[in-house]
Amino acid sequence: MYQDATFLGIYMLWYRKIEIVIGLCFAGRFSLGTVCLLALVIYYKVKRWHLSMYQNIEDFLQGPNNLMPVRYTYSNLKKMTNNFSNKLGEGGYGTVFKGKLRSGPLVAVKLLGKSKANGQEFISEVATIGRIHHANVVKLIGFCFEGSKRALVYEFMPNGSLDKYIFPKETEPMSLSCEELFKIALEVARGIDYLHRGCEMQILHFDIKPHNILLDEHFSPKISDFGLAKLCPTENNTVTMTAARGTLGYMAPELYYKNIGGVSYKADVYSFGMLLMEMAGRRKNLNPFVDKTSQIYFPSWVYDQMRGGNEIEMGDVSEDERKMVKKMILVALWCIQMKPTVRPSMNKVIEMLEGDGELLEMPPKPFQSPDEMLAEDDGIDPNTVEFPLLSEDQIDSSDISID
């Protein structure tokens, strides 16, 4: 009987282990099934999102638009780029290759990366550049859209982007004179002004920076990369933004400080001001590797120097070039004012650049925090500050040099 009891105990223990194993198996199968089901749901949602994105783009491309550029197949692109063998550069939105059309002209083919905004950057670029015809805006020749394969075909710009000329390596000599840089700045300003006032719809670029200014064979600048651009009616004073867009260092403060003011074309004015400052200084605005800590943030340092009446070291330049650079800095300081209402419009910027630099008024300090700016009143009337010029009777004749 004792043996029977022992056998029964062993049997019950063995049976209990079998139950546990079977239970674990069922639990494992259930967990595995849950994981598989979850994976299927995610796959379905991603696939549905991609289909929705492709449909959005295709609907746009098939819509009524007489200004639509040429549509190429992916096979066309492979032929014109020799199977993408000559890479020109790479950025946040894709890789650019050198190509050649059958008719002969050279082109730049930008293969776009994975879309993060339902294909919106592709639509933005085709919708904006496709309708623009201006000497200082890059020409979009065509595009490709085949499922996940998306590309844009531009006119080829043999001298590359502006950044390599204003931020040269130590081993490379400065290849553009002050006069050439000034001419480029003025033409870029004209291009932005055209985007703001010269089209049926107002075009806000939101990514003006040296890398997006391309230079043709004559070093004439053309604004490129409209992936972040926004179209809005010309009568709109502000636009609705769901998220900040642009490149840090060039983004207007109202894009992330909502209490400063509404987002408008003045955001491009700010970006242009930061670009202009870098062109004048031939250095990045923020450089932690400079010898003097006071010069880490160039706009702040140069403002203090000009406010104090100090001469700014510019190297071996003529007096005319010195005046030209000073004018660029003053205009840039007006453009990067914290408050959008204090910044000039782009047509006023052109007027300031083309005018007499000696008549330009010193702008207020542009680097206040939003709280400081709202707490104190500088006594500046936004309606008059659009014209930051001194009247003739405000200037002592001895201050004006006559060449």
Residues labelled catalytic: 207
Residues placed in the known binding site for ATP: 110
* C-beta of residue 206 within 8 angstroms of C-beta of residue 245: yes
Could you tell me how many residues make up the chain?
403
* C-beta of residue 334 within 8 angstroms of C-beta of residue 273: yes
Residues placed in the known binding site: 110
* C-beta of residue 166 within 8 angstroms of C-beta of residue 175: no
The whole-angstrom separation of Cα 271 and Cα 210 is 10
